[in-house]
A and B are shown apart, each in its own frame.
Chain A
């Protein structure tokens, strides 16, 4: 089991550019979560999916953020246009059913200049 795989590990982009973060959950997991971590706000849940369907996107900061899960093995988080305040580490996590454990990837560190 390779665990949750995120790409890229690091992303540096200029303000106004589109950014796409990718996630491959653990095979067989039916829940997928996107979190964001900053020094100021800690770990925040942005959105989560169940069986590829978005269930709760109330944590998505604004319309510039969008997430998709076209199939059970792939999800994307897109920011368009990106802004410096979007700089953070973005984590993807997956789980089987509602209960623990939640398995996290190693994150994508995004820097927007």
Chain B
């Protein structure tokens, strides 16, 4: 699985968009980008994933650069409940035995 780099922490004002970056410069052609988050004292929660096209769901948007070496998770209107650690993971879904390797992630703090 390709290695990812995320900033250790970020702050965002409530109601504003939160943009969380992730670098994955060694990503290979068949690796997907996955985002999970972990709210304090809970298990990680799946947010979104993509291969090369931008993706959007009810939780967030995922923007992947054309060269696929980086991506950005966008929470369009952050709330206090979005305060969590956000993990960016790159892997091939059909290989690696379905395991997910979590890095240190980004601690997002949404301030009132």
Interface string of B37-74 (1 = CB under 8 A from A): 00001111110010000000000000000000000000
In this assembly, does B103 line the interface, its C-beta being within 8 Å of a C-beta of chain A? yes
- Mark the stretch among A61-69, A76-84, A103-111 that contacts chain B: A103-111
Q: Is the CB of B46 within 8 A of A103?
A: yes
Q: Is the CB of A99 within 8 A of B43?
A: no
Q: Is the CB of B46 within 8 A of A45?
A: no
In this assembly, does B3 line the interface, its C-beta being within 8 Å of a C-beta of chain A? no
Give CA–CA (A43, B44) in the complex, Å. 10
Are A56 and B46 CB-contacts (below 8 A) given A42-B102, A43-B102, A100-B34?
Answer: no
**Chain A residues packing against B (C-beta within 8 Å):** 4, 31, 33, 42-43, 45, 48, 50, 55-56, 91, 93, 95, 98-107
Give CA–CA (A91, B41) in the complex, Å. 11
**Residues of B with C-beta under 8 A to A106:** 41-43
Of chain A, the residue at the smallest CB distance from B36 is A102
Q: Is the CB of A56 within 8 A of B43?
A: no
Interface string of B93-110 (1 = CB under 8 A from A): 110011111111000000
Give CA–CA (A48, B96) in the complex, Å. 12
Known: A98-B98, A103-B46. 8 other contacts (CB 8 A): A42-B103, A42-B104, A56-B99, A93-B44, A100-B93, A104-B42, A106-B41, A107-B42
Of chain B, the residue at the smallest CB distance from A101 is B46
- B46 contact from A48, A98, A102, A107, Cβ within 8 A: A102
Of chain A, the residue at the smallest CB distance from B94 is A98
Are A104 and B45 CB-contacts (below 8 A) given A98-B93, A98-B94, A99-B93?
Answer: yes
Q: Is the CB of B93 within 8 A of A93?
A: no
Q: Is the CB of B43 within 8 A of A45?
A: no
Give CA–CA (A86, B97) in the complex, Å. 25
